[in-house]
C-alpha cells in the first residue's frame, strides 16, 4: 500500500464547477501536506501547503486537512480549462525523517 493514495481519475468537470480532489495517507506521524499541479511535460509546481487541521484558502483553491481521518482534499472553485492538469498530493513521513512522499496523482479535465 502506497503511503499517499489518490484516485488516478480522470476527474472530469464542466467549466465553472467545483472540482474536488481527494487524498488519503497512512502515516499518522505525517505533519506537512502539499498539493502540486503538473501540466503534461512540465514539472510539478506548488499550489497549496497545509499543516494543521481545517481549511486553508488561497484564491480559487481551498485545501482541507483532517488528521483524525487521515485525508487531505483540494477544492478548485470556478474551474477553468487551464486547470486541466495532474494534481499531486504529497506528505512528509513521520518518525522524525520528514522524507517527502507523493501520491500518483489525479488527472483533472475541465471541459468548456
Partner 1 sequence: DVKVTQSSRYLVKRTGEKVFLECVQDMDHENMFWYRQDPGLGLRLIYFSYDVKMKEKGDIPEGYSVSREKKERFSLILESASTSQTSMYLCASSINRLYEQYFGPGTRLTVT
Binding stretches for partner 1 (CB under 8 A): 31-32, 34, 42-46, 49, 51, 88, 90, 92, 97-105
Minimum Å distance from CB 19 to partner 1?
Answer: 20
Which CB, 32 or 81, lies closer to partner 1? 32
**How far apart (Å, rounded) are the C-alpha atoms in residues 47 and 76?**
11
Beta strands in 1-112 (DSSP E): 4-6, 11-14, 19-25, 33-38, 45-50, 54-58, 61-66, 71-76, 85-92, 100-102, 106-111
Which CB, 78 or 104, lies closer to partner 1? 104
Minimum Å distance from CB 18 to partner 1?
Answer: 24
Which CB, 17 or 109, lies closer to partner 1? 109
Minimum Å distance from CB 36 to partner 1?
Answer: 8
- 10: how many CB neighbours lie within 10 A of its CB? 12
Amino acid at each position: 500500500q502506497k503511503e499517499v493514495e489518490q484516485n488516478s481519475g480522470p476527474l472530469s468537470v464542466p467549466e465553472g464547477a467545483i472540482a474536488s480532489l481527494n487524498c488519503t495517507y497512512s502515516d499518522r506521524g505525517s505533519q506537512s501536506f502539499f498539493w502540486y499541479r503538473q501540466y503534461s511535460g512540465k514539472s510539478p509546481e506548488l499550489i497549496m501547503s497545509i499543516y494543521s487541521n481545517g481549511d486553508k484558502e488561497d484564491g480559487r483553491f481551498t485545501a482541507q486537512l483532517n488528521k483524525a481521518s487521515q485525508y487531505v482534499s483540494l477544492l478548485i472553485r470556478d474551474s477553468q480549462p487551464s486547470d486541466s492538469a495532474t494534481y499531486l498530493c504529497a506528505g512528509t513521513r513521520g518518525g522524525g525523517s520528514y522524507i517527502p512522499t507523493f501520491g500518483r496523482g489525479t488527472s483533472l479535465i475541465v471541459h468548456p
